[in-house]
């Protein structure tokens, strides 16, 4: 049994511990150096834009890329004419067709999209001191402080339009957080700059949902505390934000003030391998779900082998999406990535909801991701 130092109460020790934590949180904020210039490039309805480039007759029609409705398909992206009907990414294809009966559904050509993406990154590399590709249609680039970022963004947009036949929108700001928000400010085929002297006013009015990492559930939780804008968050001291929201409290404190010291991530190592399957008919009951595991496991092993990872070294997780589109994930860093291990996780995940299942997924994360995490039960 450990004992408190003589003359020091347990309460005082807890207070000292909290003070140390607050000091550590403050210490992670490095001093400002030379003013950064970050540009976020985001393609406008990328997959659909490529398809319209390949077939100009589609330009005035509402089109979407996704799976067929009779196969439980989901919309990957759609063009702006389709969006006027309420169609959006991640929507079930069946629902999209109800909103827009004349919707032209295309299956998607990933090889073509990857090729256009590579051409886009080559263009961006011509302007970037550093380049971080976030996805097939999105990237950050940092340019020299003496360059005119507004002009660079304009040149990039012009080159992409002329050379690739698609359009991109650009956000310009002193950091990644603000640049990403700015790129969405004047879509499509536009750009927006948040200059250093505009940061405070620009950020204050932002809804909390604009902060990356704040999903619908977290947004509702913040609303319970009457935190709806970044200006609302600023009224809370750092200690209260951390005490109430944990690690996310420190993020809220910084982002609500427009602070983001993250550097561009020049290397994005793969951290997980997963597979999933959406079923033509909902699965009812644990037995039917477990019967899908062997097929999922076979596909997963193929991907793990291609990645060159030992399956036995990965920490497994399962994903379940129910018929009402709610979903849950179950993981255990101490479980084996075997059929028995995945089965145990799947059973536990299914116990959370008594609903039919439309999608099952399994995967494994690298040990570096999970060695400091607790079992998620």
The answer to whether the annotation marks 42 as part of a ligand binding site is yes
- Average pLDDT estimate for 119-130: 91
CATH architecture label of 201-255? Orthogonal Bundle (1.10)
Using pLDDT thresholds of 50, 70 and 90, give the confidence band for residue 268. Answer: low
The one-character DSSP state at 74 is B
Task: Provide CATH code, domain 272-370.
Answer: 3.30.1490.100
Q: Which residue has the higher pLDDT, 277 or 61?
A: 61
Contact 332, 375 (CB under 8 A): yes
For this structure, is 142 an active site residue? Answer: no
Query: 108: closest CA among 50, 43, 42?
Result: 50
| pLDDT score of 2 more than 90 | no
- Average pLDDT estimate for 138-163: 93
| pLDDT score of 3 more than 50 | no
Give 222-246 pLDDT, tens digit per residue: 999 999 999 999 999 999 999 999 9
The answer to whether the annotation marks 137 as part of a ligand binding site is yes
Using pLDDT thresholds of 50, 70 and 90, give the confidence band for residue 138. Answer: very high
**Taken in order 305, 310, 316, 317, is the CA torsion positive or negative?**
negative
- Average pLDDT estimate for 146-150: 91
What is the rounded average pLDDT for all residues in the chain?
86
List 357's β-bridge partners, or say none: 283, 322
Q: What is the pLDDT of residue 70?
A: 67
Among the listed residues 51, 132, 138, 335, the single catalytic one is: 138
- Average pLDDT estimate for 50-67: 95
The one-character DSSP state at 182 is H
Q: What is the pLDDT of residue 265?
A: 83
| pLDDT score of 14 more than 70 | no
Phi and psi at residue 79, in whole multiples of 5°?
A: -85, 175
Domain boundaries, the chain: 37-45+111-196, 47-109, 201-255, 272-370
Q: What is the pLDDT of residue 8?
A: 46
Residues 6+ apart with CB under 8 A from 63: 48, 51, 52, 78, 79, 81, 82, 103, 104, 105, 106
Q: What is the pLDDT of residue 311?
A: 83
Q: What is the pLDDT of residue 374?
A: 32
Residues 6+ apart with CB under 8 A from 52: 58, 59, 63, 79
CATH architecture label of 47-109? 3-Layer(aba) Sandwich (3.40)
**Taken in order 213, 115, 75, 156, is the CA torsion positive or negative?**
positive
Q: What is the pLDDT of residue 17?
A: 44
- Average pLDDT estimate for 292-298: 94
User: Helices marked H in the chain — which ranges?
Assistant: 10-27, 46-54, 80-83, 93-99, 110-125, 149-164, 176-183, 199-204, 216-224, 230-234, 238-245, 247-255, 286-290, 293-307, 339-350, 367-370
SS3 content of the chain, % helix, strand, coil (to 5): 45, 20, 35
Q: Which residue has the higher pLDDT, 280 or 248?
A: 248
Output the furthest CA–CA distance in the chain (Å, rounded).
82
Q: What is the pLDDT of residue 304?
A: 84
| pLDDT score of 327 more than 80 | yes
Using pLDDT thresholds of 50, 70 and 90, give the confidence band for residue 71. Answer: low
| pLDDT score of 4 more than 50 | no
Percent of the chain with pLDDT over 90: 65
Q: Which residue has the higher pLDDT, 271 or 260?
A: 260
What is the CATH topology of the domain spanning 37-45+111-196?
Answer: Alpha-Beta Plaits (3.30.70)
First to last CA, the chain: 28
């Amino acid at each position: 049994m450990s004992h408190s130092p003589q003359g020091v109460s347990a309460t005082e020790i807890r207070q000292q511990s909290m003070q140390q934590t607050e000091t550590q949180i403050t210490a992670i904020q490095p001093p400002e150096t030379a003013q950064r210039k970050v540009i976020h490039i985001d393609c406008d309805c990328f997959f659909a834009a490529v398809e319209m480039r390949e077939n100009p007759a589609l330009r005035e029609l509402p089109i979407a890329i996704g799976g067929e409705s009779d196969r439980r398909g989901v919309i990957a992206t759609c063009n702006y004419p389709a969006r006027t009907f309420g169609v959006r990414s991640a929507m079930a294809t069946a629902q999209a067709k109800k909103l827009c009966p004349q919707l032209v559904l295309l299956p998607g050509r990933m090889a073509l999209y990857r090729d256009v993406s590579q051409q886009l990154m080559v263009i961006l590399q011509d302007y970037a001191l550093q380049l971080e590709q976030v996805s097939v249609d999105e990237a950050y680039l940092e340019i020299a402080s003496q360059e005119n970022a507004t002009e660079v963004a304009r040149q990039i947009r012009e080159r992409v339009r002329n050379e690739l036949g698609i359009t991109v929108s650009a956000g310009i700001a002193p950091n990644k957080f603000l640049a990403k928000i700015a790129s969405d400010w004047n879509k499509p085929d536009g750009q927006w700059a948040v200059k250093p002297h505009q940061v405070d006013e620009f950020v204050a009015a932002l809804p909390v949902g604009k902060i990356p990492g704040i999903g619908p559930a977290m947004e509702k939780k913040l609303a319970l505390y009457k935190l709806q804008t970044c200006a609302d968050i600023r009224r809370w001291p750092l200690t209260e934000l951390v005490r109430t929201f944990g690690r996310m409290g420190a993020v809220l404190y910084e982002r609500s003030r427009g602070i983001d010291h993250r550097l561009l991530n020049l290397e994005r190592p793969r951290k997980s391998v997963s597979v999933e399957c959406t079923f033509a008919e909902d699965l009812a009951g644990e037995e039917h779900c477990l019967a899908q595991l062997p097929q999922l496991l076979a596909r997963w092993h193929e991907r793990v082998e291609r990645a060159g990872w030992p399956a036995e070294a990965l920490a497994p997780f399962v994903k379940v999406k129910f018929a009402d589109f709610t979903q849950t994930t179950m993981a255990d860093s101490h479980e084996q990535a075997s059929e028995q291990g995945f089965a145990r996780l799947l059973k536990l995940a299914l116990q959370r909801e008594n609903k039919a299942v439309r999608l099952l997924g399994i995967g494994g994360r690298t040990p570096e991701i999970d060695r400091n995490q607790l079992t998620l039960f």
